[in-house]
């Protein structure tokens, strides 16, 4: 089974072909970073237009890179949400049009679920696994019990982790996207210089809150930041703080799983923030301590890509879960939750 995946929910126009025996036949990503750079963030209208300009080129290349023609495809999977609706409509409509013209099934993909399942492709992870989903739009801890079966045990009450990286970077004029910029500068900084708040870390809850951290970063900038070294120190201190919060919550989540006798196959981190090497290292350390396998997709598959969409298509096609062409793109679309 060869499935084409199309992604267009934010600022990457991406397409890939993946097979049901876990071969990635192609992976094409056009990043709109240059289009949005001047605005220090994604401008929805510009994003939608840029997707429209590039989508046919990206999809065509994904099919030719896979060494096939469109008629060799068995199904088309397209992100139908959540995300910036203009871009989602572009990708979803393109995927539906291909499905209609080729006479093959269409699969509507939830972008968050695609991040959540990606490690099953790249690291052969089995259910159940503990998942930290940390992207620009989301921050959740889930126990993944199956496809479309996610038990959400922790979530952010305000900003996502990626958003807090992006806002910190914007306040320090580090450009966009913020996460990689903060990570890069933090290499030259002193993580002990600034003591930033670690919200909700003393509470018996797996929820997150990052808005106080953002305010603390703003106040620190106003009071202390003059030189490049000051910025590097703040980046390092910020990254250390985020790391501490994520580590604390994941440790607590692992204890919860243990108390419920859930036999986890692995701990997985996915979403754009999972590209951060120091966060990956911290998660590895926690997993060593708890004697559980740690997995994260390779860095290029943590941020948005078509491979994860195609793979989610494979997972749904295996269960014969196809969608009608009148499936409506959704700006909001929470993960399908399952009870404990
Ligand atoms: O998954 P993603 O590409 O898009 C969404 O689904 O939101 O995640 C993008 C987010 C952005 O907030 C970006 O700053 C963050 O992931 N990010 C990182 C890194 N690379 C991307 N955050 C921290 N460190 C990184 N290296
Ligand atoms: Zn994403």
State how far Cα 148 lies from the chain centre: 17
Does the beta carbon of 305 lie inside 6 Å of ligand 1? Answer: no
pLDDT at 149 over 80: yes
- Where would I find the H helices in 103-210? 111-122, 161-171, 178-186
pLDDT in tens, 291-302: 999 999 999 999
pLDDT at residue number 340: 76
Ligand 1 atom at minimum distance from 115 CA: 1
Specify the DSSP element, H or E, that contains 293: none
Residue 120 sits at φ, ψ, to 5 deg, of -70, -30
Q: Work out the percent of the chain whose per-residue pLDDT is above 70.
A: 100
pLDDT at 240 over 90: yes
For residues 322 and 108, give the distance between their C-alpha atoms in angstroms, rounded to a whole number: 8
Q: Ligand 2 mean position to 227 CA, how many Å?
A: 33
Which among 281, 262, 269 has a CA at the least distance from the CA of 119? 269
For residues 85 and 70, give the distance between their C-alpha atoms in angstroms, rounded to a whole number: 26
pLDDT in tens, 259-307: 999 999 999 999 999 999 999 999 999 999 999 999 999 999 999 999 9
Contact between residue 280 and residue 296 where contact means Cβ atoms under 8 Å apart = yes
**pTM to 2 decimals?**
0.97
Ligand 1 atom at minimum distance from 160 CA: 12
Q: Ligand 2 mean position to 185 CA, how many Å?
A: 23
Which among 69, 68, 80 has a CA at the least distance from the CA of 6? 80
Ligand 1 atom at minimum distance from 304 CA: 3
70: exposed, middle or buried (C-beta count within 10 Å: 0-12, 13-18, 19+)? middle
pLDDT at 3 over 90: yes
Q: Ligand 1 mean position to 40 CA, how many Å?
A: 14
Q: What is the mean pLDDT of the chain?
A: 97
């Amino acid at each position: 089974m060869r499935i084409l995946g199309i992604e267009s929910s934010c600022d990457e126009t991406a397409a890939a072909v993946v097979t049901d025996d876990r071969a990635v036949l192609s992976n094409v990503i056009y990043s709109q970073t240059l289009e949005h750079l001047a605005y220090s963030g994604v401008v929805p209208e510009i994003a939608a237009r840029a997707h429209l300009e590039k989508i046919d080129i990206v999809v065509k290349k994904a099919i030719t890179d896979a060494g096939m023609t469109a008629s060799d495809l068995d199904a088309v999977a397209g992100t139908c949400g959540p995300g910036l609706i203009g871009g989602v409509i572009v990708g979803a409509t393109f995927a539906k049009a291909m499905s209609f013209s080729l006479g093959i099934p269409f699969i509507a993909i939830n972008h968050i679920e695609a991040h959540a399942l990606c490690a099953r492709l790249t690291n052969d992870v089995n259910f159940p696994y503990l998942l930290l989903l940390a992207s620009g739009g989301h921050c959740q801890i889930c126990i993944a019990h199956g496809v479309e079966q996610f038990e959400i045990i922790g979530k952010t009450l305000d900003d996502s982790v990626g958003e807090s990286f992006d806002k910190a970077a914007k306040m320090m004029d580090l450009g966009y996207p913020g996460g990689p910029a903060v990570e890069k500068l933090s290499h030259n900084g002193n993580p002990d210089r600034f003591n930033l708040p670690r919200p909700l870390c003393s509470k018996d809850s797996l929820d997150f809150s990052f808005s106080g951290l953002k305010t603390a970063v703003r106040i620190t900038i106003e009071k202390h930041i003059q030189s490049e070294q000051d910025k590097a120190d703040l980046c390092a201190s910020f990254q250390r703080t985020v790391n501490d919060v994520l580590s604390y919550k994941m440790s607590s989540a692992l204890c919860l799983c243990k108390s419920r006798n859930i036999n986890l196959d692995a701990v997985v981190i996915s979403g754009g923030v999972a590209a951060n090497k120091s966060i990956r290292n911290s998660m590895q350390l926690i997993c060593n301590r708890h004697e559980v396998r740690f997995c994260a997709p390779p860095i290029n598959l943590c941020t948005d890509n078509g491979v994860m969409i195609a793979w989610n298509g494979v997972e749904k096609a295996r269960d014969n879960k196809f969608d009608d062409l009148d499936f409506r793109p959704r700006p909001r679309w929470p993960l399908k939750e399952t009870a404990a």
